[in-house]
């Protein structure tokens, strides 16, 4: 069963604009995902202050922004721990231009690396696979903005999108704060 996102890219981008937050929706989603994948405790809430520091010049977030970020964080956590691998990057829809989608994936991996780096400062503390992923994400962040609107570019975009998605899940599997499975209640007779 595929999970339906609680918020779409378009909704979040419009919301951020209404809140005068100049950041890209994909970058914020990537940032929170990077923190979660790096081992951020899933029951903590100081991510709201961290978001304010990084994306609102240290100013307190509005109550509406708090609510929206809590929804976004819950969506990330729910989908990243899902056994059905329902986690998806928050990027523009397929009918948006390849240029917009390319910018979004670049912003997403930049955000991921920033969030990840906040928690995992010592690269020696994680596997070579994760180190390679972080390097690859840095390369993806620097992809040319001069993308051709053709079938080949479209195919490459979807390959990169899937690589980033699966790599994020791999980082979480290695370093994330995976919640303990619910204990089955034992009936005493």
> Which residues of the chain are modeled with pLDDT < 70?
1-5, 122-124, 144-146, 179-189
Q: 138 is written with which tokens?
A: 């840095």
What is the structure's pLDDT at 4?
A: 53
Using an 8 Å Cβ cutoff, are 147 and 153 in contact? yes
What is the structure's pLDDT at 43?
A: 86
Using an 8 Å Cβ cutoff, are 104 and 9 in contact? yes
- DSSP code for 146: -
What is the structure's pLDDT at 58?
A: 87
What is the structure's pLDDT at 122?
A: 65
Using an 8 Å Cβ cutoff, are 87 and 165 in contact? yes
Q: Model-level pTM? A: 0.89
Domains and CATH numbers, the chain: 9-175 (1.20.120.740)
Using an 8 Å Cβ cutoff, are 59 and 52 in contact? yes
């Amino acid at each position: 069963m595929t999970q339906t996102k609680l918020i779409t890219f378009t909704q979040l981008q419009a919301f951020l604009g209404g809140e005068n937050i100049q950041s890209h929706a994909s970058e914020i989603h990537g940032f929170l995902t990077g923190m979660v994948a790096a081992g951020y405790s899933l029951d903590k809430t100081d991510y709201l202050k961290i978001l304010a520091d990084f994306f609102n010049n240290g100013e307190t977030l509005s109550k509406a922004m708090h609510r929206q970020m809590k929804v976004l964080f819950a969506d990330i956590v729910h989908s990243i721990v899902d056994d059905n691998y329902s986690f998806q990057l928050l990027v523009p829809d397929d009918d948006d231009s390849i240029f917009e989608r390319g910018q979004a994936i670049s912003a997403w991996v930049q955000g991921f690396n920033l969030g990840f780096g906040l928690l995992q400062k010592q690269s020696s503390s994680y596997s070579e696979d994760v180190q390679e992923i972080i390097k690859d994400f840095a390369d993806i962040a620097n992809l040319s903005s001069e993308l051709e609107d053709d079938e080949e570019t479209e195919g490459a975009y979807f390959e990169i999108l899937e690589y980033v998605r699966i790599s994020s899940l791999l980082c979480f599997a290695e370093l994330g704060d995976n919640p303990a499975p619910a204990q089955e209640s034992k009936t005493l007779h």
